[in-house]
Amino acid sequence: MFHRHASKYLSAFTQGELPSSQASSVAAHLRGCERCQKELDEIESGISFAKHLPMIPAPSSLSSEMHALFQSGNLTAPASSRRRVFRKARWLAMPLAAAIAAVLAGVVWYQKVREPISIEAAPRQVTKLEALALDLHLQQRQGLQQVDFSPEDPETISEWALQSTGLEVHWARQPAGDEHKYKLEGAKILTTSPGPILVVFFRVDQIPVTLTTADVRALAKGEAPSKGILRKKILYRFDSSSSTNLLSWTRDDQTYVFASDLPNLGRGACFVCHTNARRRELIGNAKLER
């Protein structure tokens, strides 16, 4: 009956509003769940306070006024203010209908984009930053990558990157049990005339992943991915010449590219940042097909 806890049934349980079968389930759950027992205590306390809610007698003047109005035959309700509102709002009907149509169109569109998106191979039709990520990724595959910084503690990478380049990379502390799935191999900074490019090499389940990132304002026009947004502002591409998945996105004026051979379009790389279990599940279950 419960996914985890009986929280939302506790008031109904206490006040005898649950069918007996559900009440038995809640009672059985409560016997073994300390958290729900605590919540039950809290709810019972709230109920005991609420029972002191006082009724406030109507003013005596209201009674005499009402009886006088009744006897005089003048006790009639004013026209429903709700109807008046609708009458006044008739001129709003057309814009309202248009807005509803727009919302419906949006829903239809959303349903459409929820369908699996087919990612076609786009050999070398990539931006310069993506091309750089591909080249560096090939080096990483062959174990030829060169790094400037290889911290033991992955969390220091964010601070180092920010201080050295002003670029942000986020390497979150991994949930228990996942720590060993993500191994940082090192990072380096490429100095280019428009601005620095940060490269981070790491592995997910032993599979190499290359991250390149740069300030979108520092890249010449056309270097940052600017079209082909397929799903939630993330551009998914597959480079057939190198059998590599590319994930590109831009956030807060910074462009990122993941190049990897990970399955599932390389979305496992996203989990270095997204550590929330629910978020991971959503990313993993998103309907995308190569």
Partner 1 sequence: MSLELTRKLAPAEMTRRVIEAPNEAALLVACQKGDSQAFRVLFDSHKDRVYSLALYLSRDEAIANDITQQTFATMLLKTSEFRGEAKLSTWLYRLVFNLCADERRRQRRWLPLAAARRKESMSGNAPQEKRFARSEVALAVMRAIESLKPKLRAAVVLKYLDDLSYQEISEVLGCSIGTVASRLNRGHKLLARKLGYLRASLEGDE
Which stretches of the chain bind partner 1, using CB under 8 A?
A: 7-12, 15, 17, 39, 42-43, 45-59, 62-63, 65-67, 69-71, 73, 75-78, 80-82, 85
Closest approach, Cβ 50 to partner 1, in A, equals: 5
Least distance in angstroms from the C-beta of 216 to partner 1: 42
Contacts of 235 (CB under 8 A, 6+ apart): 225, 228, 229, 246, 247, 248, 249
Would you say 6 or 209 has its CB closer to partner 1? Answer: 6
State both tokens at 139: 């080096």
User: Please, what's the b/e burial string for 153-189 (b: 16 or more CB within 10 A of its CB; e: otherwise)?
Assistant: ebeebeebbeeebebebebeeeeeeeeeebebbbbbb
Q: Are 280 and 272 in contact (CB under 8 A)?
A: no
Whichever of 14 and 158 has its CB closer to partner 1, that residue is 14
Q: Judging by beta carbons within 10 Å of its beta carbon (0-12, 13-18, 19+), is residue 115 exposed, middle or buried?
A: exposed
Question: What secondary structure letter does DSSP report for 78?
Answer: P
Which token pair is 1? 């009956």
CB of 92 to partner 1, least distance (A): 12
Q: Which is nearer to partner 1, 52 or 232 (CB)?
A: 52
Closest distance of CB 40 from partner 1, Å: 10
Residue 59 or residue 143: which is nearer to partner 1 going by CB?
59
The angle at the Cα of 105, spanning 99 to 106, to the nearest 5 degrees, equals 90
Instruction: State which residue, 70 or 109, has the beta carbon closest to partner 1.
Output: 70
CB of 36 to partner 1, least distance (A): 12
Q: Smallest distance from the beta carbon of 88 to partner 1, in angstroms? A: 9
Assigned token pair, 130: 């993506």
DSSP code for 263: S
Nearer to partner 1, 8 or 251 (CB): 8
In eight-state DSSP terms, residue 194 is S
- In angstroms, the CA 250 to CA 256 distance is 6
Phi/psi of residue 98, nearest 5 degrees: -65, -40
Whichever of 63 and 150 has its CB closer to partner 1, that residue is 63
In angstroms, what is the minimal distance from the CB of 2 to partner 1?
Answer: 14
